[in-house]
A = this chain, B = another copy of it.
Amino acid sequence: MKHQFLLFVSSFSLVLCDLASYLRERENFLENENSRFLGSNLELTSSESLVNDYLMNLKYAELDYGFATADFMQSQNFLISKPKYDSSQVFQFIKQMPKGGAIHVHDTAITNLDFLVANVTYRDNLFMCLVDNKINFRFAATKPDDTADCIWSSVSESRQNSGNVEEFDEAIYRNLTLVVPDPFSEYPNINAVWSSFQKYFVTSGGLICYEPVFRDYFYKGLEEFYEDNVQYMEIRTTLPTIYRLDGSVLSDFQAMLTYEEVFAKFKADHPDFSGAKIIYAPSRKVTEETVYDYISLATVLKRSFPDLMAGFDLVGQEDLGVPLIEFLEPILSGQTESDLKYFFHAGETQWNGMSTDLNIIDALLLNATRIGHGYAIAKHPLAIELAKNRNVPIEVCPLSNQVLMLVSDLRNHPATILMADNFPVIISSDDPPVWNASALSYDYYAAFMAMTSRNTDIRFLKQISYNSLFYSTLDGDSKAEAISLFEQKWDIFIQSFLKRILPSFVSYN
């Protein structure tokens, strides 16, 4: 088989010439391709480039480790792999990095569960009962009346009588978290995990919706995001019923005032926070008549709280809810009557061509300002074009999609494909405490490691941070201020990172 070497010796220059032109063509191709990913239009300063080199070395090392060991945390369920995230240096970098806004999160799932267990359940006047093996909580001046389903007892007494306070608190924690030792057997399918997920909102609701807790919970939630270097939030709320010790409840107007007060206090305490807004997002499992009510309320709230109220959405497991097409008339009326902005959850599904999937089309045609999740949009080339032309971003929540079983290996997340072609994407975190994440960094990190190319660099992280402000509902001046604040924070981060870290980095290279 050696005879071909003579052949190639004689044609060597020809081959080399071909090879050189091949390599040029390849280089051009890769450059062209690299100019298309989300963030590739940004130009880095020399300081940013140095930090980027540092970051990329960490990214390469983690990818190489994952490749060599086939132990790649982002391809494993976050319910199991979370400790690996915490020990990642890339993750630690991203935690310190300014990240702009968190604009797809839900109000009763923004604060760590420890706050609920270790703080809220230790407050006075809390009662509990077991319904269907799940804990219901209620604050009340005196023990609420028992019903056939629900025999109330004092939490403090029950804790004392339990004989094992640690185990008692652990049991409460287990009633709130989705984290289990073996998610694959615990959640055999998407409906099973959604069922547990929704129980969180029932159990936590009794704790969070007590007025004094409500204020503290939000303040604490804002603080957690702020400490994670998030400067702005848009928070979806169902406007749950907020109650007082005497059993009286807040009106929707009073609830909005409460948000406004908490946000104002937080901003006063943290002048470098750009604020927070509310998206009214009640359950989608309702009749058209109820959606008329929703839209009417949203319109009133928008008029009363023009700065606080960003717009309208519908929530709940989309596959088992009512699709947008059933609500066209009230939704269209909301736009014609009052210029309400829409932020519909749409396409949070794998069921290609079924009603949830088609929500993508309706969300776009109904002029949604942004699309929540939009997981299914990648299967709709025309919708991709329309969203790009109208500059409608999707709010991608990678860990939520993984934990709620749309995708197991995050490298298969369809937003990977969209982001490779500069589709407008925002990364957010949905309900981080329910799966033992927190704030925003875990999702930024997951996206950076699993949903971009090996060579995709800090420009991607800066771009998704920009996007979270650029596509926010902050108006002209506020938006410019927020972006300017972000850039200040970014520059400080880059400079202080260089000062703190680079000397040791250089010395080890």
A residues within 8 Å of B by Cβ? Answer: 1-5, 7-8, 11, 14-15, 18-19, 22-23, 25-26, 29-30, 32-33, 36, 63, 67, 70-71, 75, 184, 189-192, 292-293, 295-297, 299, 319, 328-329, 332-333, 336-337, 350-354, 357-358, 361-362, 365-366, 378-383, 386, 406-409, 411-412, 414, 416-417, 420-421, 452-456
Contact = CB atoms under 8 A, between A and B. Distances in A.
Contacts of A421: 381
A304 B296 CA distance: 79
Contacts of A191: 70
Contacts of A32: 382
Counting every copy of the chain, the complex holds 2
A288 B147 CA distance: 79
A67 B354 CA distance: 10
Main SS at interface, chain A: helix
Contact of A417 (B7, B14, B417): B417
Contacts of A189: 70-71
A350 B412 contact: yes
Given A70-B189, A407-B412, A421-B381, A453 B332 contact: no
Contacts of A414: 412, 414, 417
30 contacts: A1-B296, A1-B297, A4-B295, A5-B292, A8-B333, A11-B336, A11-B337, A15-B329, A15-B332, A15-B336, A22-B365, A25-B365, A26-B361, A29-B382, A33-B383, A70-B191, A184-B184, A350-B409, A351-B411, A352-B411, A352-B452, A353-B454, A353-B455, A354-B454, A379-B420, A379-B453, A381-B420, A381-B421, A407-B412, A412-B412
A380 B18 CA distance: 25
Nearest to A411: B350
Contacts of A381: 33, 36, 420-421
A395 B83 CA distance: 39
A211 to B, nearest CB: 23
Contacts of A456: 353
Given A11-B333, A22-B332, 7 more contacts: A33-B361, A67-B351, A70-B190, A350-B412, A353-B454, A406-B412, A407-B409
